[in-house]
Structure 1
């Protein structure tokens, strides 16, 4: 059997462990995906649902609806343009863009002809852009006009880029090829004949680590299709269930959950340029969106906006068609769950996954009775992330790679058909991540079993974020829950900082609610029920937390703020 380009440079032992991480304990659970490529899926939708809407772009008064036939025709044209540039199956292209129909067209056109997309997070710095496209061997970049100047200034540093194309009508003065003008000359049919298989690489997503160079997560077309398949099966989606997408589509959450999944079930999606709390419910009502995918930060912003509006909150909230919001990609607190569901009629379906598992690996069961759903969200100290999807196995492992007992904490590990192929050109990271034949998530958690024998998983924090005080491990999320319950706290985060006596000591970083007169003493009193060893010793206040583009708090970036207390001795009073 011939090895793929991904596998050729991997050590044989690591390759064996990665293969094990793609195997289910019960092979019969392998999902039956009816399409072998994303092109086949898109072509089928365009033939069977030609006039049905697929993509609605709604942003600040702008509304543009695109049917399946129109979308497919555009993708065919752009795919032919890509082929005309000399790009071949397996070549990589980069995008420097944001949520926009053009960005979506570029993704699908690339996959139709077997190209690999490297989506760049425009919130990252220039050094990361240069590293990602050089490391990923990008041959062409597709750029939004307002970002063309930034890219043009970096051209001398790009080692492999041969073509630059500008999206969204472009700029007449731009030195880049205007994609829309090229589309006017391009043929939608016949599409170039390219052999694309389920194993064709689709994405290299560079992780948003806080230090060092990001790692490139390699995903194949089958990874994307399988994850979308499992999400559709889990929720029982039907074509009339329109999705709302407010997350950035350079990330797998926005890309797989709210772009590819609606395509998979023949539905439609409303795409916004970016999240807006003031337009969220209005857009959902106007477009009759039934579900969406969010991160915990979005839930907090929505709660805050409603609190600020008081009794003048939009009527759209009470009559919202949004039945549920899938929530993951960041720590969800019980306090956030209770606050959101007290204020809004939309229920939260919590889940968990990573770029390395394509996107989601588990969810709360969608058919749980309401009392059961609330129990699993609120009664165990942490909101449950649910049970494993059929496309993957999940377990809790000790550092030695052994299963731990129910309720004991360990590392969340995953194996199955949605697991990435590798970290691109990172044999060191691959050897560590697939050490025991499972993908090691780096997240700490535990599980509880229900009366049907199903394992409900919980995440207690990142292993790298665990606070180790005097040799004892403390989960910062547990302390976050207490901080969030204090009156006047808009958001709070426990931070482990270096300490000369205990190795690490505990601090708290607090964002106050508007108008709150909260003091350090108020916060310390609010934590009095915690054992002294687990209480924050220093409280700092700030206007905002460092976050990633998808709203994940970057706890480790707060550590340097507490350096001056490294040698302070804290005593219980």
Structure 2
């Protein structure tokens, strides 16, 4: 990728933190293999990962057993000609094998391209082709959906199956090959902190996802910042209920426990009925969630008497042993719009503390949190007083500020763009010079999010996010590009003009709506609304399809003809409390 000297210089500036140059590394490990070696030598027989399948069965691996599987998988990759710098994909739901495959790839210096299996094949094809992926680890239940894409792009499939499955020609059996590999491993000296580790594709408002390139150092320094802020260390137990194709699941609850010498409880999926029981049974200290999950838990408590009855001993402190939350500290929450109303409701019902934070794939994961040790009055003040829950104070690996459109710093309580610079800022967008030019224009990473800050008594900046300058829809922590939905809406015969709108929703933070201007010979009706929604569901994954339709006589645009989505959000206010599937 060819970048201008100006952009290269701006990217370099954006990797400074408090005057510390990008190459003055703040973690001692040369690479993730060295980290794995160190932690395994320190705690060989302690549990690193406990994995719960959806059927309730669980698998447990100690550090030493985990390392053995990682190194065998690394050797499997080597014999399949995967070398440092080559990109490999993981196509699966949350699974123990995927965590092993991540670390194996990092040990040999390969770059992981995590795939969201709910995406449509056409979008996956773009991601795999754009990243030049050479091999894909894939769970057998997703092979049929993506096999044509893999064949078209000549990507070698390595298939894992936990059931009877006839291996297609040209595919590799993961378990069979794994068992044939030695656990002895010779690392490549070329793998360093600057070796690329992840390419996470994040939606842009143009519809085409951008590849966020993160290095091994990015992963380790953000894990260091997260662990220091939350007091995560040897013996800390963290639980993952979020998808690990997303940086929140990967960095907070996979890389951070390894970095700090803790352990991980990985769930195949989130379920309200197992959430608190598992926190208690596994003696979890910290769990990371998105606001949508908090809303689901509140709803089930208020509407499901059995759920409420079973939780009473846990929440009252009356339980003991595996029926007690005595080990639990707090919930990390971010990756989607959190409201003051939801914070207040959840903490009142469950009596568990929410530590709100903020970050992006482009800053590896989290960049700020509210302090964990605030007294109740200050905790409530920063989460409830200012109309938006504070996202907190910048963590050690980065600095944050609020800029105007010219890149100038703004004073306290003035809205502008949230900008970040530091050692956890991404390397760049993969093969996207134009995006890099704009994003790093002023020597900071420009988030595209609007916010402000307020000083506390000691002069620390507490940041708040108020919305997005860009128009992505963030539904349950998942980024959705509105233009992709616009295209489908505009293909409907009765539609003259239409736009997708992300509206405030109690369940998902934001939900997808459609504002529709009909052709002159059609009249608004409930039947037509149903038809539009059904058409979109046929063309889009369920989470992207509009859930409600609002008819209008006009759609506001800028002087250059761009739709002003944020100006029509109020038209969907009546749907805020609805739960849509």
- Normalising TM by the smaller chain, what interval? 0.7 to 0.9
Query: How far off its partner does 1:151 sit?
Result: 2.3
Distance 1:490 1:216, change over 3 A: closer
1:351 maps to 2:357: yes
- The answer to whether the aligner puts 1:562 opposite 2:556 as a matched pair is no
Q: Distance in 1 between matches of 2:94 and 2:241?
A: 9
- Check conservation: 1:93, 1:117, Cα contact below 8 A: yes
Q: Write the deviation string for residues 484-537 of structure 1: whole angstroms up to 9, x where unpaired.
A: 6xxxx998879896999xxxxxxxxxxxxxxxxxxxxxxxxxxxxxxxxxxxxx
Match for residue 175 of structure 2? 180
Query: Which of residues 322, 340, 346 in structure 2 aligns to 1:334?
Result: 340
Instruction: Name the CA shift for 1:495/1:20 in 2 (closer, same or farther; >3 Å).
Output: farther
Q: 1:98, CA displacement in angstroms?
A: 1.4
**Matched residue, 2:241:** 246
Q: Distance in 1 between matches of 2:241 and 2:124?
A: 23
Residue 20 of structure 1 aligns with which residue?
A: 13
Q: Which residue of 1 aligns with 2:69?
A: 74
**Counterparts in 2 of 1:382 and 1:368: CA distance versus 1, 3 Å:** same
CA distance in 2, matches of 1:281, 1:493: 26
- Aligned match of 1:364: 370
Structure 1 CA distance for aligned equivalents of residues 310 and 554 of structure 2: 46
Give the corresponding residue for 1:143: 138
Whole-angstrom distance in 2 between the partners of 1:324 and 1:404: 33
CA distance in 2 between counterparts of 1:451 and 1:403 reads 21
Written as runs of structure 1 = structure 2, the 5 A alignment for 1:452-463 is 452-463=458-469
CA distance in 1, matches of 2:460, 2:190: 41
Q: State which of 309, 314, 317 in structure 2 corresponds to 1:316.
A: 314
- 2:190 corresponds to which residue? 195
SS in 2 for 1:395: strand
Aligned to 1:32: 26
Using the size of structure 2 for normalisation, the TM-score is 0.80
CA contact (8 A) 1:497 1:559 kept: no
1:220-262 Cα deviation digits (max 9, x unpaired): 0000000000111111213222111000001110000000101
Question: Whole-Å Cα distance in 1 between the matches of residues 20 and 299 of structure 2?
Answer: 46
Q: Deviations over 1:454-486 (max 9, x none)?
A: 00000001113499xxxxxxxx99x95xx86xx
- Shift in alpha-carbon separation, 1:434–1:333, aligned structure 2, 3 A: same
Structure 2, unaligned runs of 5 or more: 317-323, 474-500, 519-532, 557-567, 572-581
> Could you tell me how far 1:290 is from its partner in structure 2?
1.1
- Quote the Cα distance in structure 2 between the aligned partners of 1:244 and 1:490: 21
Aligned match of 2:224: 229
Q: CA deviation at 1:305?
A: 1.2
Residues 413/336 of structure 1: CA separation in 2 closer, same or farther (3 Å cut)? same
TM-score normalised to the size of structure 1?
0.81
- Partner SS state of residue 157, structure 2: strand
Counterpart Cα distance in 2 of 1:324 and 1:147: 35
Q: Say if 1:456 and 1:495 are closer, same or farther in 2 by CA, change over 3 A.
A: farther
Contact residue 396 and residue 404 of structure 1 kept, 8 A: yes
Q: How many residues align?
A: 499
Q: Is the 8 A contact 1:51 1:67 kept in 2?
A: yes
Cα gap change, 1:50/1:466 in structure 2, threshold over 3 Å: closer, same or farther? closer
Other-structure match for 1:41: 35
Counterpart mapping for 1:79-90 below 5 A: 79-90=74-85
Match of 1:446 in 2: 452
Q: Distance in 2 between matches of 1:400 and 1:498?
A: 35
1:285 and 2:291 matched: no
The 5-angstrom pairing of residues 456-471 of structure 1 reads 456-465=462-471
Distance 1:125 1:322 in 2: 38
Q: Distance in 1 between matches of 2:244 and 2:512?
A: 30
Alpha carbons of structure 1 residues 25 and 499: separation in structure 2 relative to 1, 3 Å = farther
Structure 1 residues 373 and 265: alpha-carbon distance in aligned structure 2, compared to 1, 3 A threshold: same
CA distance in 1, matches of 2:418, 2:165: 51
In structure 2, the CA distance between the partners of 1:496 and 1:444, relative to structure 1 (3 Å rule), is: farther
Using the alignment, how far apart are the partners of 1:63 and 1:285 within structure 2? 16
Whether contact under 8 Å (2:337, 2:509) holds in the other structure is no
Is the 8 Å Cα contact of residues 394 and 415 (structure 1) preserved in structure 2? yes
Is the CA contact (8 Å cut-off) linking 1:382 and 1:458 kept in structure 2? yes
The SS at the match of 1:436 is: coil
1:149-188 equivalence runs, <5 A: 149-158=144-153, 161=155, 163-169=156-162, 172-175=165-168, 176-188=171-183
**CA pair 405-65 structure 1, distance change in 2 beyond 3 A:** same
Contact 2:48 2:63 (C-alpha < 8 Å) held by counterparts: yes
Matched-pair contact (CA < 8 Å) for 1:102–1:168: no
Contact in 1 for aligned 2:512/2:547 (Cα 8 Å): no
Deviation at 1:61, TM superposition (A): 1.9
After superposition, the C-alpha distances for 1:344-363 in whole angstroms (9 at most, x for unaligned) are: 12100000000000000000
1:212 aligns with 2:184: no
Tell me, yes or no, if the aligned pair for 1:495 and 1:558 is still in contact at 8 Å.
Answer: yes
CA contact (8 A) 2:205 2:471 kept: no
Give the aligned partner of residue 52 of structure 2. 58
Alignment check: 8 A CA contact 2:513 2:548 kept: no
Q: Distance in 2 between matches of 1:224 and 1:343?
A: 35
Within-5 A mapping of 1:407-418: 407-418=413-424
Task: Return the offset for 1:10.
Answer: 1.6
CA deviations on 1:36-91 (whole Å, 9 max, x unpaired) are 11111111111121100000012332011100000000000010110111111100
